[in-house]
């Protein structure tokens, strides 16, 4: 795992854990503040994949052979990232 990936994952996990802890303790004013870095990271992950999704579809840069398997795996991964973003939004904001 690359160094920036470790940093991003650490920020994500620490931020989500702090937000969940503040939620359990009833400190709603700190819940959104502590969860904001996690939401930023989750948005960057989702939007980065969404912007480059066309490269994994037919005749794309990463899929020159028009493989449906590569396209479906990429769309499935995008849906998982969207679900993680929705979970983060639910955890931090609701």
**What are the C-alpha distances in Å from 61 to residues 45, 50, 52, 77, 80?**
20, 15, 10, 18, 22
Q: Which helix (H) or strand (E) holds 27?
A: none
Cβ partners under 8 Å of residue 43, min gap 6 = 85
The most confident of the ranges 3-7, 26-30, 35-39, 63-67 is 35-39
Apex 23 CA angle, 20 and 24, nearest 5: 90
pLDDT at 29 over 90: no
Q: Where are the domains of the chain?
A: 3-93
pLDDT at 65 over 90: no
pTM: 0.86
Residue pLDDT, tens place only, 35-62: 999 999 999 999 999 999 999 988 888 8
């Amino acid at each position: 795992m690359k160094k920036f990936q470790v940093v991003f994952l650490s920020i994500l996990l620490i931020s989500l854990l702090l937000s969940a802890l503040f939620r359990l303790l009833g400190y709603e004013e700190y819940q959104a503040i502590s969860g904001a870095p996690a939401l930023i990271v989750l948005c960057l992950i989702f939007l980065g994949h969404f912007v480059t999704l066309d490269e994994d579809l037919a005749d794309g840069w990463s899929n020159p052979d028009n493989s449906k398997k590569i396209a479906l795996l990429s769309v499935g991964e995008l849906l998982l990232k969207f679900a993680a973003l929705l979970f983060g939004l639910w955890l931090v904001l609701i």
